[in-house]
Each structure stands twice: as C-alpha cells, then as structure tokens.
Amino acid sequence: MGMSNRIGLIAGWGRYPIVVAEKLKSAGYEVYCLAIKGHADEALYQICDKVHPVGVAKVGGHVRFFKRHGVQKATMAGKVFKTLLFEKWSWLRHFPDLTFWRYFFPQFILKSADRKDDTLLGTYTMAFKKHGIELAPATDFAPDLLVSKTPLSKRTLTKAEQRDVDFGWKLAKQMGLLDVGQSVAIKTQAVLAIEAVEGTDECIRRAGQLCASGGFTVVKVAKPQQDMRFDVPTIGLGTLQTMSQSGASVLAVEAGQTIVIDEAEVIRYANENRIKIVAVEESEIPLCVPEAA
C-alpha cells in the first residue's frame, strides 16, 4: 500500500478518536496513531496499524513517529484536557522535548504569548507544517458525523426554552470569539455557568449544583473563527448522561459545525430521559431575544 494511503491520527480523550480510526480503516487507510498518555483509549490498539503512546508535549517525538512511517497527512480527534498545564508533576508525564521548546518558547518561557486554545493549537500545527506534515480536519474523513439542522429528539421546545436557546447562543458565540469556551448553561435568560478550561461536562455539573430545581438549557456552538482541524464542538452519550444527572433538560448545538458520536444512542437516551436536543443554524437566531411575556 502506497504512502498516500497512510494517515496519522493524534488521539485524545473520548470515543471520537475511535470512531475516526474506524472510519479511516473502512476507507482503506493505514492508520498510524499517536495516543496521548492519560487520554487515548486502549481500543485504538485493536483498530490502528501502529499505536505509539506519547506525552502531549513530546512534539519532536510526534513528528519523528510520523516521518518514520512515511506519514505526510494527519488528523486530530478527541479532547486534550488543558488542565494538564496546571496539574502538579504533569510535566514529568508529558516532559517537553527540544522541538516543543523551539516552537512554544514564547508561551512557556518568555510568557510573551498567550495560552489560548487557538494559539497553542496553531503553534502545534505550524510545527508539523515545518516538518512537511499537513494537519487535516477529521471531518474530511467522517463528514457524516456533523449534525444536520433538525430536532434530534421527539419533544419540541417551549417558548421559554427557545428564548433560553436564543439568549445562550449569543453568549456562547461571544465566549468562543474570546476563545474562552464553547458551552453555556442558561435558565430563564440567566447565566448559570460558562465553560472554560474545565470542559463541557464539568460546566454542566456546575450548573446543576447552582440550579437545584433543574430544567436548564445547555448551548454548545462553534467559535466564530472555528478551525475545523481541531477543537470542533462534540457531543456524545456522555454529554447526555451528565445532563441527566445534573438536571439539564435542553441541549442546543450548531448544525453543520457539531460532531455527534453514536447519534442513534444519543437520540434514544434523550427520548428515554426527556431531554430535548435541537441542531440550530445561526440564521435562525433572532438579532434581539424577545422578553418573556
């Protein structure tokens, strides 16, 4: 099999890397996987042609692994928890190599550049490009994972819930523009929680702790400047389970910009647990959110 059929997979946390690996294999690719330590699922060893466990900051090791196996195109899938930056002793597990310092010196030594997701991932992409490896969006290989404009669950939104979706959408887009997070939790047009470094599930749990009565809405959108190569909004069964445990009743996501993992299972769970899911296009959101009657 020729070099053009070889593709690299940088696998983070969750089922998304597994689904992408399966899609790539079914399409006839040889898959060479960098499995981020403490994140990637062991199931990848049964799917990929070669799996190499590696620390997230071993950038030189990432490049060498792909070049050794003739990989010229790679894709990223799965979350890498940014809380690594603030964990005690995390650098021992993900010890940076010289290539990391070459590219990330401004962020971690000089501290002259910020550590926003777009900055860090953009720098990582540049490092790969300098070594002749192109990073492509995982959705190029699995476009069917992007949700279409549709109600995903049986139950429809009430007027109050629709107002919360409209209100939360505008707020989530502003947070995305600032590269803070992609998700917000809303009830009666009041903000319960905004996602930051902790991730969507913890944002939902915090909203549940602050809203004991439940019945709140979660809105998850793409950033206005979304780069589809990384950090694409993703939901799966785990998202719905966290919502159910926390008392959330509505999930609104952005159509054409959100990945749904195991969609049939997600819809089944939502219907069984009385959670409403809608996929919305930006054009459907009114410029001004109407006040409650």
Query: Per-residue pLDDT for the chain (293 aa), expressed as one digit of tens each?
Result: 456 799 999 999 999 999 999 999 999 999 999 999 989 999 999 999 999 999 888 889 999 999 999 999 999 999 887 666 556 655 555 577 777 778 776 776 667 678 787 788 888 888 899 999 999 999 998 899 999 877 788 889 999 999 999 999 999 999 999 989 999 999 999 999 999 989 999 999 999 999 999 999 999 999 998 888 888 899 999 999 999 999 999 999 999 999 999 999 999 999 999 999 999 998 888 876 555 54
Q: Where in the chain is the domain with CATH 3.40.50.20?
A: 3-140
Beta strands, E only, the chain: 6-11, 30-36, 50-54, 73-77, 134-136, 150-151, 183-187, 190-194, 216-220, 234-235, 248-254, 259-260, 276-280
Top-level class of domain 146-284: alpha beta
pLDDT for res 106:
74
pLDDT value, residue 293: 45
Q: What is the pLDDT of residue 272?
A: 96
pLDDT on residue 152:
86
pTM score, whole prediction: 0.85
**What CA–CA distances, in Å, run from 11 to 14, 53, 58, 268?**
9, 10, 14, 27
Number of residues written out for the chain: 293
Report how far Cα 202 is from the mean position of its chain's Cα atoms.
Answer: 14
Question: Angle at CA 232, nearest 5°, toward 226 and 235?
Answer: 140
Which fold does the domain 3-140 belong to in CATH?
A: Rossmann fold (3.40.50)
Residues of the chain with CATH 3.40.140.80: 146-284
pLDDT at 21: 97
Sign of CA dihedral 52, 53, 58, 59: positive
